[in-house]
Amino acid sequence: MEIIMGLAFFIYGTIWGSFFNVVGLRVPNKTFFKQKRSYCDHCRRTLSWIELIPIVSYIFSHGRCKKCQQKISPLYPIIECLTGIIFAFTYYRVGWNPTLILGLLLISLVIPITVSDLVYQKIPNSLLLFFTPLFILYRFFYPLNPWWNSLTGALFAFILIFTMIFLSQGGMGMGDLKYFTLLGFIFGIPQFLLLLFFSSLFCSVAGLTLLTINKNNLKKKIPFGPSIGLAALLIFYYGEEIIQRYLQLFY
């Protein structure tokens, strides 16, 4: 039964991953509502349903548009597959309980923002505005302990990141500030501090990796959104365990 449920969540995740790709690519340039059907980014041809099957369509089309033969970005199958894996892992990790809702909401926030920041280096306000009421509603029914930890977490995150932006004179953007503030509300202060640490670590590793591959990458700005999203998922899955293991070193 668990295998069947895991497979169902994987398939479900690939379908949503395809949608998250579209959201992440179209929302920043305000084309999300201009054309209802999916289309080729090169020739603008409307795609048929058989060309929209997650992962499978990309493989059978050899990564090219059926009409213009231009290459389709590998970002599409990567995000579809990744979202499927994360959906399935979330089910295995937390089980069938209200925490699963939080996990799926978090994934639905993280994936489109990651796509948007990778492609445009932008975290759209509209995505944050859409998800904020959903997380507020979730925390209303399933609050942190104590309940005000969400409010203090958001306030603490805002003040800390705003101070860092002010002192660094543009090291991070306002999108990062709003993203961190929302995550502070979701996780509270202790786990937010852990999230900030890991997101900085992941971004540093990504920067050093790119620099090792090509020294010209030193001039490139590395989007922070993917590292924030990865850290958020890590904290969701293992945040409490990491904190408990850390405290055990002193008590």
Q: Which residue has the tokens 């405290």?
A: 247
CB 75 within 8 A of CB 21: yes
> Structure pTM?
0.92
Residue 33 has a pLDDT of: 64
Token digits of residue 250: 């002193």
Please give the Cα distance from 139 to 182 (Å, whole number).
Answer: 12
The pLDDT tens digits along the chain (251 residues) read 788 998 999 999 999 999 999 999 988 887 766 666 676 666 666 766 676 788 888 888 777 777 677 787 889 999 999 999 999 999 999 999 999 999 999 999 999 999 999 999 999 999 999 999 999 999 999 999 999 999 999 999 999 999 998 888 767 888 999 999 999 999 999 999 999 999 999 999 988 888 787 766 556 778 899 999 999 999 999 999 998 888 888 77
Residue 45 has a pLDDT of: 65
CB atoms under 10 Å from CB of 41, counted, come to: 14
Q: How far is CA 232 from the centre of its chain?
A: 8
Residue 32 has a pLDDT of: 67
Residue 88 has a pLDDT of: 97
3-state DSSP assignment of residue 83: helix
Token digits of residue 128: 């944050």
Q: Which residue has the tokens 């603008």?
A: 44
Token digits of residue 210: 């790119």
Please give the Cα distance from 22 to 100 (Å, whole number).
Answer: 24
Q: Among residues 32, 64, 62, 28, which one has the least CA distance to residue 47? A: 64
Please give the Cα distance from 117 to 219 (Å, whole number).
Answer: 17
Question: CB-based burial of residue 80 (10 Å sphere; 0-12 exposed, 13-18 middle, 19+ buried)?
Answer: buried
Backbone angles phi and psi of 222, in degrees to 5? -95, 120
Please report, for the chain, how many H helices and E strands are present, in that order.
9, 0
Domain boundaries, the chain: 1-96, 99-251
